[in-house]
Amino acid sequence: VPSGPEEAETFQIEMSGLLGELRCPYPSLTTGDVTSRLHTPENCLQLLYFLSSELLAARLQARKSPPSPERKNRSQEAVRELQGICRALGMPEADPSCPVPQLMADIEAKISGLLSTMPPEQMTPLLKTPLTSEEWKTLEKIHGALRTEYQCRRCMIITRFDVTIESFHWSERAKDRGAAMSKAFRPLRQSLQRESQISLAHLLAARDDLSCITKTSSGASRDKTSCAINKVLMTGSVPDRGGRPNEIEPPMPVWEKRREGGGDGGGHQRWGKRGKKKKK
Domain spans, the chain = 5-64, 69-122, 124-207
pLDDT value for 38: 80
Alpha-carbon span 242 to 159, nearest angstrom:
14
pLDDT at 253: 57
Predicted confidence at residue 185, as pLDDT, reads 84
CB neighbours of residue 55 within 10 Å: 10
Taking the CA atoms of the chain, what radius of gyration do you get in angstroms? 33
- The rounded distance, in Å, linking the Cα atoms of 26 and 43 is 9
Give pLDDT < 50 ranges for the chain.
Answer: 262-280
pTM of the model: 0.43
Residue of 159, 158, 168 lying closest to 265 (CA atoms): 168
Structure confidence at residue 252 (pLDDT): 57
Quick one: pLDDT at residue 145? 92
Residues 6+ apart with CB under 8 A from 147: 195, 196, 198
Q: Which residues contact 74 (CB under 8 A, 6 or more apart)?
A: none
Residue 259: the pLDDT is: 54
Long-range CB contact pairs, 176-183, < 8 A, 24+: none
